[in-house]
Amino acid sequence: MTTTLLTIHLAQSDEGLLFLLLIVAAGFAIRYYFLLSNEKEHSRQLGIFLNSANEEISRLKHDVKKLEESEMRLLEEEKKLKAEIHLKKLDNLRFALNPHSFKNTLNSIQGMARDTYESVRGLSGTIDYMLYDAQEVFVSLDRELEFANQYLVLFQKKLRPSFNIQIDLDLSHRSDFISQFIIAPLITAGFIENAFQHGDTESPEAFISVKIEIIDNRSVLYTVRNRIRAVPHRGKGGLGQSKMKERLDLLYPSKYHLEYKNEQGVFTSLLKLELHERKDLVHTGG
Regarding predicted confidence, which is higher, 146 or 282? 146
pLDDT recorded at residue 144: 95
Q: Which of 38-42, 49-53, 92-96, 138-142 has the highest mean pLDDT?
A: 138-142
pLDDT recorded at residue 153: 87
Contact partners, residue 254, CB within 8 Å, separation at least 6: none
Regarding predicted confidence, which is higher, 36 or 272? 272
> What would the pLDDT profile of 38-47 be if each residue is shown by its tens digit?
666 667 776 7
Give the whole-angstrom CA distance, residue 189 versus residue 195: 10
Contact partners, residue 184, CB within 8 Å, separation at least 6: 137, 138, 139, 144, 247, 251, 252
- Lowest-pLDDT choice from 105-114, 133-142, 257-266: 105-114
Give the whole-angstrom CA distance, residue 36 versus residue 161: 116
pTM, full prediction: 0.62
Give the whole-angstrom CA distance, residue 138 versus residue 108: 26
Percentage of residues of the chain with pLDDT beyond 70? 68
Residue 100 has pLDDT above 70, yes or no: no
Assigned superfamily of 75-280: Histidine kinase-like ATPase, C-terminal domain (3.30.565.10)
139-140 sheet: strands from edge to edge: 139-140, 181-183, 276-277
Residue 61 has pLDDT above 80, yes or no: yes
Residue 104 has pLDDT above 50, yes or no: yes
Task: Give the amino acid at 65.
Answer: K
Domain positions in the chain are: 17-66, 75-280
Q: What is the mean pLDDT of residues 265-282?
A: 87
Kindly give the residue spans of alpha helices, DSSP state H, lying in 133-267. 141-156, 175-180, 189-198, 241-251
> What would the pLDDT profile of 184-194 be if each residue is shown by its tens digit?
999 999 899 88
* DSSP one-letter string for 160-179: -TT-EEEEE---GGGHHHHH
Residue 227 has pLDDT above 90, yes or no: yes
